[in-house]
Amino acid sequence: MTRLSVLQYPDPRLHTVAEPVQQITPDIRRLVADMTQTMYALDGIGLAATQVDVHLQIIVLDVSEKGNRPQVLINPVIIKIGGKAEFEEGCLSVPDVYESVRRAAWVHVRALDLNGKTIDVQAEGLKAMCIQHEMDHLQGMVFVEHLSPTNQRRVLASLSKQGRRSNAKAIVK
């Protein structure tokens, strides 16, 4: 397994919309293993393939207390969402930045597992937030973009001061 490099916001590649996985091949299995290792190595609870510059609809997550129950969602689709909740979110692509984001309190997602079997996942709380956050990545969106334009500029300024901002220009509306 290989620890992958994670794109850093505002890298424009983070805005690429991911394509569906057509077939679960040995390369896809290797990618999932590498993504899982990368997520754990960086103390994350979720990682989307877009974040490692692979633009396929693949998410790995583990919100278990011990961090020992990884889950893979391939080609995830939200079937139903409900409620409202506010979560303090962070992101491996936006290190050391944590902001409050409003999302659905629960989600029902249908996806494929690593064996190509259709699975239904019902989640609430932290897991629901994580799934929505990672699915945003698959649509080319970073959690910072849920913030007001003022807060987006503040985050970019903070990243710039820390020397982590890429040469790419971020689009802040």
- Calculate ∠ Cα 128-130-131, nearest 5°: 65
Q: What residues act catalytically?
A: 134
* Unique residue bearing structure tokens 């609430």: 124
- Name the nearest CA neighbour of 93 among 157, 11, 24, 19: 11
Tell me the C-alpha distance between 139 and 16, whole Å: 7
Reduced to 3 states (helix: H, G, I; strand: E, B; else coil), residue 164 is coil
